[in-house]
Structure 1
Amino acid sequence: MNTKFTRNLIAASLLTLPVFAQAAPTKADVVEHYADIAHSVFSDALTTAQSLDKALDALIANPSEANLNKAREAWKAARVPYQQSEVFRFGNAVVDDWEGQLNAWPLDEGLIDYVAGEYHYELGNEGAKANIIANQSLQIGNSEIDVSQITPELLADLNELGGSEANVATGYHAIEFLLWGQDLNGTERGAGERQYTDFAYGEACTNDNCDRRRAYLKAASELLQSDLTWMTQQWAANVKGNYRAELLADSPENGLRKMLFGMGSLSLGELAGERMKVALEANSTEDEHDCFSDNTHYSHYYNEQGIYNVYTGTYMRVNGTLVSGPGIHALVEQKDKQAAKQIQAEFDRARSQVYTLVQSAEKQNQHFDQLIAAGNKAGNAMVNDAIFALVKQTAEIERAANIIGISNLNPDTADHQF
């Protein structure tokens, strides 16, 4: 992604962002600021999803190569704040219970649209080749499902069709697949190459059912915006009885435990484990996070940036405004200044190490799916170094927790051994 928008955000976020001095912030201050950051991040995710929707409307109204490229860039821009929101998922059930409709992966894309003949999918998945776009009804087991009208509600109901988690009908990755199509390059260079004519009108339409493909794109976008609107409201300061109110009504210690558990679980079990280690050990592009667009390096980087945001109490908004206040670092510094410096240094190292994946893609044109290829010793080592840095960062998160008196942290390993 070479847009000026993203380059500016990366340049700004790579700075060691300052934690502005305050008069001995309390634990309650830190938890409240955590909620402020969450609201800013989800607000940005909503704003960029709305911009994506406008780009999709332009593509739907006038399918062209230029409009398809603009929609793809808008999708990538929408991923920037959303990936930073995932640090709020772990520890906050309201987010974890909700996020699957927006970010579930990997997915069996044959549920949605046409796929290549040698298409690998989850064994036993009855919906793996259902092709919603090409059919008016689906036969799953003994059930016949009417899919003649593609609506946000229908797509939400089709998630985990037939009991398979690989049946993902909604969210960022469903839209990504529609914009790029399958990446058939394996561990060689190149992303998906869907043609804009897959959305065309009349005889210009390729691969049939262009009207339903356009309808699917719009329905998925509408659902994405609706979901993000709801979550933004859950963290708003001016909404009574929402999740923010519940969080702040609880003890500050429990709030801090949620913060630290979220940071550690994303760092260790999810990012180092599910999103890097699984793909690396299996040399599997099917387990790559943004596999259709080859945007995985940015998804990994912004996951790490989200962890960094919560620790430092800072967040760079998509409009360039810096949100800053007391974070975990401020509490650690009150207790042990030397330890605070050491922990901050490990966070800086982890973020820099994950950023090497971005540099590999942007400067060497070697993306994550190439780095994990069997036989790519240098690429494998780069991913391994990022994993190790995240493991070390998690140990520092646990150290920070001990310093500020938060016990029973136990970040989720997702059953991975490191």
Structure 2
Amino acid sequence: MMKSFIRLLGLGLAASTAMTGIAVADVTPEAVIAHYADVAEVKYGDALAAARALDAAIEALLANPTDDTLQAARASWLAARVPYQQSEVYRFGNAIVDDWEGRVNAWPLDEGLIDYVDPSYGSESDENSLFTANVIANPSIEINGKTIDASRITPELISATLQEAGGIEANVASGYHAIEFLLWGQDLNGNGPGAGNRPATDYSLDNCTNGNCDRRRDYLGAASDLLVADLEEMSANWKAGGAARVALEKSGVAGGLSTILTGMGSLSYGELAGERMKLGLLLGDPEEEHDCFSDNTHNSHRYDAVGIRTAYTGVYTRPDGSQMTGPSLADLLAAKDPAIAQELSGDLDATIAAMEAMVERAETVEAYDQMIAVGNDEGNATVQAAIDGLITQTRSIERAIAALELGAIELEGSDSLDSPDAVFQ
């Protein structure tokens, strides 16, 4: 089901119908929807490959816990985020993806459920009885009055018992962010410089720091295995005959196009501009950054935005630099309403430019959690520019929905954007 791959430079709109040899007027909705599914298959395949590379790096860390193997595992985690974040545009509109997503990318998390935390974290929470349960230190824990045997830390224990334990969303036990915490540890720097600084000896059997290194090793290994298994599941869902692809095909032309635009608009507005960016900016809270332990939030936001644009252009740049192209929503809209098609293309590009400015600042001036600090006017403005770009492109997405005569499509909202006073209540 995979389209041809073309070696190109950059992430722009250069690869379109001119490269595929398809005239805009000949692009059909069915072809656009099929290509959208093909790209999903490849994206999740790339995310799976990156997760397997991360798993291998974690195995190397556990075999020989040194500063070098820890840094290599962290680098593999960062690399794994690139293809996965570009797949998030499939979450909204595809119920199978949305139902699954919490297992791999839920945040923020009450990390005291998993491991030791600094005293500044606190010892209890009115909202979460497992706030400092520390399953790594405790072979049994109590959940809703029931004693749970946690003597063996396995993928099954994490997925079936610990993930959202007690029905509390903050009890994130699996996925990228649980692994991120285990590799970096807490970021105790607030809005100051620096990320988490967990020592490699936290995984040493000979020179253990912070206790329970054997169980910490078990947790990290099990969480990594579980991430691979979860991505294997979603990758299979997008192959020919897979549940996600079949559900998309059964939704018909209007349903398929609505799915693409729902994903673009909901991720642009309610999720990324609102819950992931504006909320943290309003609060000035470093705990509201997406990759808070590693200080990688700027990249996660950038690749979400890149994924939104890919859903429109049909152009996906793979980790090896090759590009996948095919019939796109951009082509379909250009045939229907060239002015709106051009407007949306320009808005998507402008958002990417604002995201790139944010990334450059993160790499040369200060991390994202410093940018959102109260009183940091320049940092705040850099983040707000990216938010503004996302809001503007959402308005163009809504005009595209109208131009394609798809009827009413409900996009995700956010109190952070729609009712900011409610955030402080």
RMSD over equivalenced CA pairs, Å: 1.4
1:362: which partner in 2? 363
Q: What residue number does 1:57 align with?
A: 59
- In structure 2, which of residues 179, 198, 201 is the aligned counterpart of residue 194 of structure 1? 198
Contact 1:357/1:367 (8 A) holds in 2:
no
Equivalent residue of 2:136, what SS?
A: helix
Comparing 192-201 with 13-22, which one deviates more in the overlay?
A: 13-22
Corresponding position of 1:316:
317
1:284 and 1:33 map into 2 onto residues whose CA distance is 40
- Structure 1 residue 14: deviation in Å? 3.8
User: Given the alignment of the two structures, is residue 177 of structure 1 paired with residue 181 of structure 2, yes or no?
Assistant: yes
Answering whether residue 239 of structure 2 is matched by residue 228 of structure 1, we say: no
Once the two structures are superposed, residues 350-396 of structure 1 have per-residue CA deviations (whole angstroms, 9 ceiling, x without a partner) of 111122111111122x1110011011011111111111110000011
Is residue 110 of structure 2 the alignment partner of residue 132 of structure 1? Answer: no
- Paired position in structure 2 for 1:164: 168
TM-superposed CA distance for 1:246, in Å, is: 2.6
Cα distance, 1:338 vs. partner? Answer: 2.9
Matches within 5 A, 1:18-167: 18-21=15-18, 22-23=22-23, 24-119=26-121, 123-157=126-160, 158-167=162-171
**Aligned residues between the structures:** 404
In structure 1, how many angstroms separate the alpha carbons of the residues matched to 2:10 and 2:416?
29
For 1:18, give the aligned amino acid: A
Q: CA deviation at 1:402?
A: 1.4
AA aligned to 1:294 is D
Shift of 1:399: 1.2
Any unmatched runs of 5+ in structure 2? 1-7, 419-425
Match for residue 8 of structure 1?
none
1:264-283 to structure 2, matched below 5 A, reads 264-283=265-284
Q: Give 1:151 deviation, angstroms.
A: 0.4
Q: Is the 8 A contact 2:205 2:213 kept in 1?
A: yes
TM-score normalised by the chain length of structure 2: 0.93
What code does the residue aligned with 2:108 have? P
1:291-337 deviation line (CA, Å, top 9, x unaligned): 00000000000000000000101101112220101111101110222
Distance 2:94 2:220 in 1: 30
> For each residue in 1:24-48, what CA deviation from the matched residue of structure 2 results, as whole angstroms up to 9, or x when unmatched?
1111110000001101110000000
Question: Which residue identity is paired with 1:191?
Answer: A
Q: CA deviation at 1:241?
A: 5.4
Identity of aligned residues (%): 50
State the alpha-carbon separation in 2 of the partners of residues 155 and 344 from structure 1. 42
Aligned to 1:299: 300
8 Å contact from structure 1 (residues 187, 369) kept in 2: yes
Give 2:5's aligned residue. Answer: none
Aligned mates of 1:265, 1:337 — CA distance in 2: 23
* Structure 1 residue ranges, 4+ long, deviating more than 6 angstroms after superposition: none
- Indicate the residue corresponding to 1:3 in structure 2: none
Change (3 A) 1:13 1:133: farther
TM-aligned CA distance change 1:164 to 1:242, over 3 Å: closer
Question: Contact (CA 8 Å) 1:279, 1:372: kept in 2 or not?
Answer: yes
